[in-house]
Structure 1
Amino acid sequence: MYNYNSLADVIDEKCFEFGNREALVFPSHQQTYTYIGFQTLTMELAKGLLAIGVKKGDHLAIFSLNSPKYIALEIAAARIGAVLVCINTSSTKSELLYVLNQSESSLLFISNGVKGNSYVELLNSICPELAANSLQLASKELPHLKTVVMLDNMELPGILPLHKLLKKGEKISTEEIYMVQKTVSSKDPLNIFYTSGTTGNAKGVVLNHFVTVNNAIFSGERMQYEPEDRVLLCLPLFHVIGCVLSTIAGLFYGSAIVIAERFETSKIPCYIMEESCTVLNAVPTMFNFLLNSDLNPYDLTTLRKGFIAGSCCSEELLLRIHNELGIETIANLYGQTEAIGITQMAAEDSLHHRLTTIGRPLPGVEVKVIDITTGERLPVGEKGELCVKTVYLMQGYFKNQEATNKAIDIDGWLHTGDLVSMDYEGFITIEGRIKDIIIRGGENISAVEIENTLKRHPGILEAAIIGVPDKLLGEEICAVLIKNTTYATPLNKETILTYAKGELAKFKLPKYIFFTDSLPITSSGKIRKNILREQFNKEFEKLIAVKQ
């Protein structure tokens, strides 16, 4: 049932099978790689890594936008048993410093970044030793880091250009690469992905070859990826939904991966039309941006399928994706970095199930719903925490056994922190997050329920519900809203409450309503409610103190 080959072994099989079919298309740089060409690039990169002394088990970090080189480095590292550490490109100075040190990365691949956000300048700010122009780095702040490689076509002090790395690799034979590749086991670590970090420092999730290969196989099967598909990659490769569930899964089934460097609302419709993309995978925020832009000039009729993941999605948004973008088989996909894909819709599932549930568990995944107080398993239909026992489970959080033990109990169940219910057919519905429960006067109130209700109002683009301190009730409900700029009727607290009173019980109505132009979100589309709570709680604590 399961594939026990390493990732590089499976990719080699697929490159042989699909040969001269397109594997990677990079429209912004007018680059195209066939499967054979892609295999050659991964081999050249692996040779370069061996030539500069990279060994099995070494940690190699990458801080870059999406590109063919990024994908090829994933496979090149896999060939020699190195571990690719994928860093969020939205990282601040302190976050980048933390991840590079915590991951013990000895080599960093970096691209120049984007206008207004230079990754190289950010690195220089924490590693001024680069200016010494020594290719053997000795940094006080980054003691593990010894080499930095530039992926873009430019030469900078202290940074090894990619073309020179490839040149060094010319002395390494293909036979040497395959000899090293044979030593790589399916249970060897493959990647470290850092969690979104909505609370505290991000944790490094260690995934091995087995979990990545097999989760991609079964997710791709449920998505019905095929050689005729052209998958638009606009999700970041530093997340499993971009790397494993879009890119690797697509390649396993012979699809072409059309690469966007990053999500840009104005460019995505162009790529879909010009490259005849058939698959669009994205997070709810991305779909919202697309649907609220002018799509009239673009022919998007090639789109047939896609998944939506990363955060909770409303029935209304799914229906708009289905009706307005014409994606007939839009699939809710639920997962966590710690276990990659957990549940997913199948092509044959009904539209009703697509709109209202996150599907059923993938093969190899066992689930249960437990009472959040007692830990007892709950009967069908009742709400509780989703727990998962899966063959795709992480090896643990890197150098953080305490956090690993908190996430995975003694019996091997991963506690997701998500509130769900499950029906008799095994379809699961997200009801909210345990931490998203507001306790107001003894009543447990789901923030997600209120958010979904408010987002059904045509004048509201996005909603975040948080609990704020209240002297009398313990917590009160606070709504932070983004207006839909295309909605003509004026919106204020009174109009919102008038609408909400017809949809929600009185005790679920927000006491406080604020409008904002943007919300703090993670790169996977989740609203960073810890930041909102911190911001608003301070203000409300002041109010309580004044009233006292």
Structure 2
Amino acid sequence: MSSSEDLASPVLRPGGTAHLPADCTVPLVEHTVGQLLSLRASDFPDREAVVGMRHGSDVVTRLTYAELLDEANRAAVVLRTLVPPGGFVALWAPNVIEWTIIQYGAALAGVVLVALNPVLRDDELDYAVRHSGAAILLHARVSRDYDLAAVAERVCANIPDVRRMSLDEFIARLPDDPTAVEAPADDPDAAVMLQYTSGTTGRPKGVLLTHRALINVAKLTMENAGIRFGAVCFNPLPLFHTAGCVIATLGPLWVAGVSILCQRFVPRQALSTLRDEGAEVLFYVPTLLAALLDEQRASAEPAPQLDVVMGGAANVPAQLIDGVSTTFGATVLNLYGQTELAPVLSMTRPQDDRDDRLTSVGRPLPQVECKIIDPDTGRTVGVGETGEICARGYQQFVEYLHDPAATARALDAEGFVRTGDLGMLDERGFLSVTGRLKELIIRGGENIAPAEVENAIGSHTDISDVVALGLPDERWGEIVAVACRLRPGAGPELRDDLIAFAKSRLPAYKVPARWFVVDDFPVTPTGKVQRFALRDAAAEQRLREI
């Protein structure tokens, strides 16, 4: 669709069912991740590919496509000696250039990269390494002020058959002479990445994704965003997320552009980088975008002028979209999806009118089928009716690793992925997200399972029971809050004690920002806690806050 008439024309029958067939007019490509990198290096060897900091350095490094392929090939050679074909290699590091090199190296070597959040605490890292069955954990020395090396050493000492290796040691093993890995991976349907995503039951699920899924989602996202070939792209998103290592890494690869990594997001520095590098594309989550806008409004420096600002959130405030459009001169596009969809289902496009870009998550990407169902009966609802958003296509996940029961629950009888989000399709095929069936808390783009927070805080001696919930927040989208039932004799310094207790057991982003005390929880007739009732009571200031 390219004209306003096309966008206004119905693609679903009024009064019909909310089932949008896949647009198959745009072909998929058959490349693996490594093959696409090789192709770009062959066609554009001297073009800049990635800019960022090396591990342990504050000096900016710039790699051309030929140099990036060379380093990725050498990484693949080493990985072949450390990990069996089809095996798993875990990477635990911040946004350093080695992250991208190892991502490509693993793809070339035919092993699966396990992408780990560098804020994981001991038990979380232990779970991910054990669950994935990783043959090796590659780790940075430090991320911000967090001693990754010490945590990795403690954790791996208790896990049989896993090897621990610092990035320094891994880089030291790379062959000095340029070399290509023998017989690079060439099956686009092979698994290439394992992403951990929080589930409502507490323990994260391992989402297995293929080369085909990652390459084509990146391709179709960039094409539908209208990104020019060779674009300069700024990536402040964490590389362990699919948004950072798929859309903001493989997306620039598809357009033979440059990916500028941001190791640690500081708004003033980010604005300076955008100006100095002549960035055309910025990837975002709303919290990051709001911080950039606030910083620019307080700055005497000219605002960098961008072509496209694109990122993911179910609902982005209208004032934020308008503010960014006015200040940075950019078209702001909203992407929607989830890790299980690698990760984009739908997006707004540059040709969409302002109202659609403010109130919807656009239309599904080509080659993905979408429908809205009644979550209780599985029946496809009518056009314009609210139900659970479901999607089916080439990019859906292979499985939840080692969890066939959860994999089966995530799919409906026709093989559609059930997203757990509520929404509706209009007659034109535009998708709107209206709520969530899942109990996940989404703070600044991070999925947090209530059970994770509850299990950590519930072990405090003064807590008899606890329920975690998300409360609306302008900056973060949601913040973590807890409602607690206290044991008799809880001390007057309880809040400070609880916060310190939570910080010792949870990453900072999972630590509750608000703490409430209740005598009893509202429950259903079957005894299930009504979280929505607690959220309403907190919003109406009917809960006692400590």
TM-score range, shorter chain: 0.7 to 0.9
Q: What amino acid does structure 2 have at the position aligned with 1:143?
A: P
Q: What amino acid does structure 1 have at the position aligned with 2:52?
A: F
Say whether the 8 Å CA contact 1:273–1:298 is kept in structure 2.
Answer: no
| Distance in 2 (alpha carbons) for counterparts of 1:298 and 1:398 | 49
Match of 1:225 in 2: 227
Say whether the 8 Å CA contact 2:287–2:476 is kept in structure 1.
Answer: no
Say whether the 8 Å CA contact 1:229–1:278 is kept in structure 2.
Answer: yes
Match of 1:434 in 2: 437
Map 1:160-309 to 2 at 5 A: 161-167=169-175, 174=180, 177-178=181-182, 180-181=183-184, 184-197=186-199, 199-295=201-297, 296-309=299-312
| Distance in 1 (alpha carbons) for counterparts of 2:149 and 2:378 | 48
1:385 match: secondary structure: strand
| Distance in 2 (alpha carbons) for counterparts of 1:543 and 1:162 | 52
Say whether the 8 Å CA contact 1:49–1:165 is kept in structure 2.
Answer: no
Say whether the 8 Å CA contact 2:274–2:304 is kept in structure 1.
Answer: no
Match of 1:29 among 59, 64, 67: 59
Cα deviation code 1:310-353 (max 9, x no counterpart)? 553222322222223332x1110001000111101222222221
Say whether the 8 Å CA contact 2:388–2:419 is kept in structure 1.
Answer: yes
Match of 1:157 in 2: none
Match of 1:142 in 2: 159
Match of 2:315 among 312, 327, 344: 312
Give, in angstroms, the shift of residue 543 of structure 1.
8.4
Q: What amino acid does structure 1 have at the position aligned with 2:103?
A: E
Match of 1:368 in 2: 371
Match of 1:81 among 105, 110, 113: 110
Match of 1:40 among 42, 49, 70: 70
Match of 1:405 in 2: 408
Which ranges in structure 2 are unaligned for 5 or more consecutive residues? 1-26, 441-468, 486-498, 524-542
2:434 match: secondary structure: strand
Q: What amino acid does structure 2 have at the position aligned with 1:280?
A: L
Q: What amino acid does structure 1 have at the position aligned with 2:204?
A: A
Match of 1:12 in 2: 38
Specify whether residues 298 and 257 from structure 1 end up closer, same or farther in structure 2 by C-alpha distance, changes over 3 A only. Answer: farther
Match of 1:497 in 2: none
Give, in angstroms, the shift of residue 542 of structure 1.
4.9
Which ranges in structure 1 are unaligned for 5 or more consecutive residues? 128-138, 153-160, 438-446, 471-515
| Distance in 2 (alpha carbons) for counterparts of 1:291 and 1:325 | 9
1:268 match: secondary structure: helix
Give, in angstroms, the shift of residue 436 of structure 1.
6.1
Query: Does residue 1:421 correspond to 2:424, yes or no?
Result: yes
| Distance in 2 (alpha carbons) for counterparts of 1:337 and 1:32 | 29
Give, in angstroms, the shift of residue 72 of structure 1.
1.4
| Distance in 1 (alpha carbons) for counterparts of 2:379 and 2:230 | 47
Query: Does residue 1:540 correspond to 2:518, yes or no?
Result: yes
Give, in angstroms, the shift of residue 465 of structure 1.
9.4
Q: What amino acid does structure 2 have at the position aligned with 1:82?
A: V
Say whether the 8 Å CA contact 1:109–1:151 is kept in structure 2.
Answer: yes
| Distance in 2 (alpha carbons) for counterparts of 1:252 and 1:541 | 56
Give, in angstroms, the shift of residue 30 of structure 1.
1.7
The percentage of counterpart residues that share the same residue type is 26
Specify whether residues 114 and 54 from structure 1 end up closer, same or farther in structure 2 by C-alpha distance, changes over 3 A only. Answer: closer
Larger RCO (alpha carbons 8 Å, 6+ apart): 2
Specify whether residues 150 and 238 from structure 1 end up closer, same or farther in structure 2 by C-alpha distance, changes over 3 A only. Answer: same
| Distance in 2 (alpha carbons) for counterparts of 1:243 and 1:543 | 41
User: Number of residue pairs matched?
Assistant: 448
| Distance in 2 (alpha carbons) for counterparts of 1:265 and 1:226 | 26
Give, in angstroms, the shift of residue 435 of structure 1.
3.9
1:237 match: secondary structure: coil
| Distance in 1 (alpha carbons) for counterparts of 2:478 and 2:112 | 38
Cα deviation code 1:14-70 (max 9, x no counterpart)? 1112221111112652210111111111111112223x3433112111001112221
2:384 match: secondary structure: coil
Match of 1:136 in 2: none
The CA RMSD over aligned residues, in Å, is: 3.3
Give, in angstroms, the shift of residue 173 of structure 1.
5.2
TM superposition score normalised by structure 1: 0.75
Map 1:457-536 to 2 at 5 A: 536=516
Q: What amino acid does structure 2 have at the position aligned with 1:166?
A: L
Specify whether residues 314 and 94 from structure 1 end up closer, same or farther in structure 2 by C-alpha distance, changes over 3 A only. Answer: same
Give, in angstroms, the shift of residue 253 of structure 1.
0.5
Specify whether residues 532 and 204 from structure 1 end up closer, same or farther in structure 2 by C-alpha distance, changes over 3 A only. Answer: farther
Q: What amino acid does structure 1 have at the position aligned with 2:153?
A: N
Specify whether residues 362 and 260 from structure 1 end up closer, same or farther in structure 2 by C-alpha distance, changes over 3 A only. Answer: same
Q: What amino acid does structure 1 have at the position aligned with 2:395?
A: Y
Match of 1:55 in 2: 84
Match of 2:167 in 1: 151
1:267 match: secondary structure: helix
